[in-house]
Every structure is written in C-alpha cells, then in structure tokens.
C-alpha cells in the first residue's frame, strides 16, 4: 500500500495516511514496515500490518516494529463526554508499563491519524493506573512522535509524559527526537511534567500545546549533555496556580526557544520552587526569540531567569516589546 506524503517516515501533510492516486508514492523509509493501531476495531490476534487488520494497542506494534518503521494510530470511534476517559488509549496490560521505543528501534515514527489539525488529542494516550514512568519513553535515536495527545494522571510525579532519555550520556540514545503537533495535558491534579529531554541532543519540540503542566518542558541535564535543542511554536496554557515553570533548562548549549506563547500569568504554584516562565540553570546558552508572555507588563528578571540566553523580539500580553531581559 502506498501513501502520498510531503515528509519522510510516511507522514502525510495532514498527519494521516492518504490514499494513493496522485503525486508520488512513498511508503515509509525505503521498504520498511508500516503498522496500524485501532483501539476500537483492532484485535490482539492481528499484528497490525494492514488497515483492515489493525492491532488493538500501540504496545502490540512496538513489540514487533523495527528500525525505520512507521506506526499509524487511529482515534477512538467512541467520543467521550467532557470529563470522561472514553476516548483515551491506555496500555494493553500492566506489564506493558506504558510505552517504550526501545534501543534498536531508531528512526521509528508514531503518527496519530486524527483529521483535526491543531487538535491533536483526537488520538489521546493515557498512562496505566498509578505508574510514574513516562507515558512514552524514547530510548532510540532519530524517532518522530506526531499528532497525538498524552494525558497525565495524578500519581505521575516524575520523568515526564514523553521522555527522550540516554542511559549513557553522550551515546545516541534519545538523539534527534522530534515531537510535532502534539498536546501534552497533565491536568491540575498531577505533579508531573510534560516533555523531558534528558541528556538528549538535537531534539525538536514543535507546534505542541501544553495544558496545566506543573513543569512543561525540561531540558535539565546537569552533565552538559543537552545540545542543539529547539522548542518552537509551542503554546503553554493553564491557570498560573497550576504551573511552576514552563521551560526548565539545565546545562544546555545551542538552545533555541522561538515563537512560543505563554498564555497565562506568571507561574504561581503554591508548592512551586521555580515560579518562572523560563528558568535557566547552570551554563545554558542559546536564544529566546519572538515569544509572548502573559504577564501584563514586560517580563522582568523575577519572571524569568535567562543566564547566557540572548532574548530578541519578545513581548508581553499588553504589547510591550523588548529585545532583552535582565537575568539573575
């Protein structure tokens, strides 16, 4: 089966496979496998190798997929009422311990097939029970996660909902992870974080919405192993009292934060220790550009800690512009 695509990894321009019939054909990486997941209509007896015989859970495909493969995930056909969990996808078993892209599965892509561009939670994953491990843990380099939502639970207190991790800092584990057009929803009741790049290099976080994340994005390695990260065109929503920090940086180099909107007042979580939009620890270096902050005045040093980060063409919610921010 072939697909029309504008991107590598079999990703269509709409975040879903498109029937062949025009343009050029491209089926994933040259000859690699494509898998299909349908929570409502799939079967544990199917591998998920075709649209008409999909697997019923992402875990089934991750258990057999190889390097360079693409896994398409269909939204639930039963749409839950507001506040219900009918639409979420949970791991198949407790043994699955959420989902892991394992070492050796490099260049693998997980693509949600919702037609709701800009509403990525058409495919929404949720952690199993009270597990505190990442909902999606990426241990292989150059992977892509696109057009999905991830919903946290109250007991998820560490390691992020999506984590790009390196067992041995400086190796290829967690290298080059791209997260694009996703929704990260931690909810007010959780202490957990959103996306964590831990010792990863050249990772990209693009066009993603964060809701009620106590810590939205963490690039907080203390070993100086985070290099070349990009956080671009992301939105940070929620009550200021739900949030401690939107972006936390550790020892980072060549970091670029661009075009992000911080759509709440200054973080004010009652148990927070950061209370910043962006906080840079250690020896972070990079650029913050074209960002808008939700405070009513131009963001001051008390609202961000931006040591060694150059700030260009940013503004407050009231239109006050500034080219640089004092750092503490």
Domain boundaries, the chain: 91-322
Residues 162, 222, 185: CA angle, nearest 5 degrees = 20
CB 306 within 8 A of CB 278: yes
Q: Which of 14-23, 32-41, 66-75, 249-258 has the lowest mean pLDDT?
A: 14-23
Looking up tokens 């990525």 gives 120
Spatial CB neighbours of 168, under 8 Å, sequence gap ≥ 6: none
What is this structure's pTM? Answer: 0.85
Between 251 and 53, residue with greater pLDDT: 53
Mean of per-residue pLDDT scores for the chain: 78
Which tokens belong to 59?
A: 């875990």
The closest of 228, 198, 37, 261 to 278, measured between CA atoms, is 261
Q: Look at residue 307 in the predicted model and tell me its pLDDT.
A: 75
Q: How far apart are CA 230 and CA 204, in angstroms?
A: 5
Burial 202-217 (b: 16+ CB within 10 A, else e): bbbbbbbbbbbbbbbb
Number of separate helices (H) and strands (E) present in the chain: 1, 30
Q: Length of the chain, please? A: 328
CB 232 within 8 A of CB 209: no
**Does residue 171 have a pLDDT over 70?**
no
Q: Look at residue 21 in the predicted model and tell me its pLDDT.
A: 44
**Does residue 218 have a pLDDT over 70?**
yes
Between 320 and 195, residue with greater pLDDT: 195
249 burial via Cβ count (<10 Å: 0-12, 13-18, 19+): buried
Looking up tokens 């029309």 gives 4
Which tokens belong to 43?
A: 């079967």
Assign a CATH topology to domain 91-322.
Pectate Lyase C-like (2.160.20)
Spatial CB neighbours of 222, under 8 Å, sequence gap ≥ 6: 250, 251, 282
């Amino acid at each position: 089966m072939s697909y029309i695509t504008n991107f590598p990894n079999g990703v269509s321009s709409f975040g879903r496979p498109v029937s062949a019939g025009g343009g050029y054909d491209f089926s994933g990486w040259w000859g690699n496998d494509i898998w299909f997941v349908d929570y409502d209509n799939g079967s544990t007896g199917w591998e998920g190798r075709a649209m008409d015989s999909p697997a019923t859970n992402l875990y089934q495909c991750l258990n057999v997929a190889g390097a360079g493969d693409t896994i398409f995930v269909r939204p639930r056909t039963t749409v839950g009422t507001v506040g219900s969990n009918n639409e979420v996808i949970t791991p198949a078993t407790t043994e699955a311990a959420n989902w892991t892209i394992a070492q050796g599965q490099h260049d693998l892509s997980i693509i949600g097939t919702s037609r709701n561009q800009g509403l990525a939670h058409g495919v929404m994953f949720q952690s199993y029970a009270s597990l505190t491990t990442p909902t999606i843990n990426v241990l292989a380099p150059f992977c892509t996660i696109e057009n999905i939502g991830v919903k946290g639970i109250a007991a998820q207190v560490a390691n992020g909902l999506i984590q790009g991790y390196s067992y041995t800092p400086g190796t290829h584990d967690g290298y080059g992870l791209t997260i694009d057009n996703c929704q990260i929803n931690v909810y007010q009741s959780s202490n957990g974080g959103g996306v964590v790049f831990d010792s990863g290099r050249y990772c990209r976080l693009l066009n993603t919405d964060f809701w009620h994340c106590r810590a939205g994005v963490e690039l907080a390695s203390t070993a100086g192993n985070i290099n070349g990260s990009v956080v671009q065109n992301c939105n940070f929503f929620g009550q200021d009292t739900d949030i401690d920090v939107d972006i936390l940086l550790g020892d980072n180099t060549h970091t670029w934060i661009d075009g992000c909107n911080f759509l709440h007042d200054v973080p004010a979580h009652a148990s927070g220790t950061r209370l910043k939009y962006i906080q840079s620890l250690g020896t972070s270096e990079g650029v913050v550009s074209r960002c808008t902050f939700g405070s009513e005045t131009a963001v001051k040093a008390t609202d961000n800690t931006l040591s060694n980060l150059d700030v260009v063409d940013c503004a407050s919610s009231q239109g006050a512009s500034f080219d640089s921010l004092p750092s503490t």
